[in-house]
Chain A
Amino acid sequence: QQQVKQSPQSLIVQKGGIPIINCAYENTAFDYFPWYQQFPGKGPALLIAIRPDVSEKKEGRFTISFNKSAKQFSLHIMDSQPGDSATYFCAAKDSGGSNYKLTFGKGTLLTVNP
C-alpha cells in the first residue's frame, strides 16, 4: 500500500513534443506529491510538487495533473528540449506523524531527440 507505481519505464520524444509520465498510488494518507529530475551521476532535484486539494499545478514548462478520486497524478513537459533528457521520479509523502519520508516511483528515463 506504500507503493507508488510509475509508468512508462522509458520514453522517447522529439524536441517540442509533450512527454507525459504517470503515477498511481493506493495509500489515501499520502498528502504531498513531488516530482524529481535526476541527471546521470547527480542527486534528484525537486522539479514541482502538488497537494491533493489542487487538480493542476504549472511551473514554467512543467505541469502536474492530479486526479484524487483515481489516485493518479502525471507530469507533462511542454515544448520538451534535449536538455530535459533525464530520469524523472514521482514521489509521495504520508500525512501521518512528524516524519516526512518520501516513497519514490521506479523512475522514467526520458530522452528528447533534437
Chain B
Amino acid sequence: EPEVTQTPSHQVTQMGQEVILRCVPISNHLYFYWYRQILGQKVEFLVSFYNNEISEKSEIFDDQFSVERPDGSNFTLKIRSTKLEDSAMYFCASSGPNRGQGAKETQYFGPGTRLLVL
C-alpha cells in the first residue's frame, strides 16, 4: 500500500539554525500539507500546497517557514532560524488525485519528524 515517507525521523538542532524536513508524498497525490504536534497536544495545520504554490497557511507559518516541491517527488519544509518553541513532531500529509471530492479530502499522514531545538 502506498504511504507517505518522511526524513529524518529525528532531528536535533541548535536555536537559530536552519532545518529542512523532507517528505515524499504518495505518488499520484496532488495536495500536500504540513502539520505539527507539540508533545501531548493536538495536531495543528501549518500549510497546504497545490499546483506549486501555497493554498493556505496558518498563523504559525510565519516568514521563518517555507515549503518547496523541488522535484516531482519531494516536498520540503524549511525553518530558517529555529526557535525553542519550534520543537515538535512535524507531519507531512498528502491527498488524492483530482478524481472526486473524496480522494482530495482523504489525507494520508507520514510517520513524522521529531524536531528538538536546543
Contact = CB atoms under 8 A, between A and B. Distances in A.
B64 interface: no
A104 B107 contact: no
Given A93-B105, A98-B50, A101-B33, A43 B110 contact: yes
Contacts, number: 59
- Measured as residues with beta carbon below 8 angstroms from the partner, the interface class of chain A is 20 to 34
A93 B109 CA distance: 16
Nearest to B33: A101
B103 to A, nearest CB: 10
A107 B104 CA distance: 24
B42 A101 contact: no
B111 A100 contact: no
B66 interface: no
Interface of B: 4, 31, 33, 35, 41-45, 48, 50, 55-56, 91, 95, 104-112
- Of all A-B residue pairs in the complex, the 8 with the closest CB atoms, nearest first, are A43-B109, A99-B56, A104-B43, A106-B42, A101-B45, A104-B42, A44-B109, A43-B111
